[in-house]
Structure 1
Amino acid sequence: MTTTTTGRFDGQVVIVTGGGSGIGAATAERFAAEGASVVISGRRRERLEEVAARLPADRVLVHVADVSRREDCEALVAAAVRRFGRLDTLVNAAGMNLVGSVPQTSEEDWRACFGADVDSVFFTTRAALPHLAETKGSVVNVGSVSSLGGGWSHAAYNAAKGAVANLTRSVACDAGRDGVRANVVCPGLTVTDMVEEIMADDALLDRAWDRIPLRRAGQPEEVASAIAFLASDEAAWITGVALPVDGGQTCTDGGPEWGK
Structure 2
Amino acid sequence: MNVVVWNENRHEKENPVVADIYPEGIHGVIADFLREDHENVRTATLDEDEHGLTDEVLDQTDVLVWWGHMAHEEVREDIAEKVKQRVLDGMGLVVLHSAHFSKVFKKLMGTSCDLKWREAEEKERMWVVDPSHPITEGIGEYIELEKEEMYGEHFDIPTPEELIFLSWFEGGEVFRSGATFRRGKGKIFYFRPGHETYPTYYNKEIQKVIRNGVKWVDNHQTPTPVYGNAQPLETITTK
Q: TM-score range by the shorter chain?
A: 0.3 to 0.5
Higher helix share: 1
Q: TM-score, normalising length from structure 1?
A: 0.40
Higher strand share: 2
Q: TM-score, normalising length from structure 2?
A: 0.43
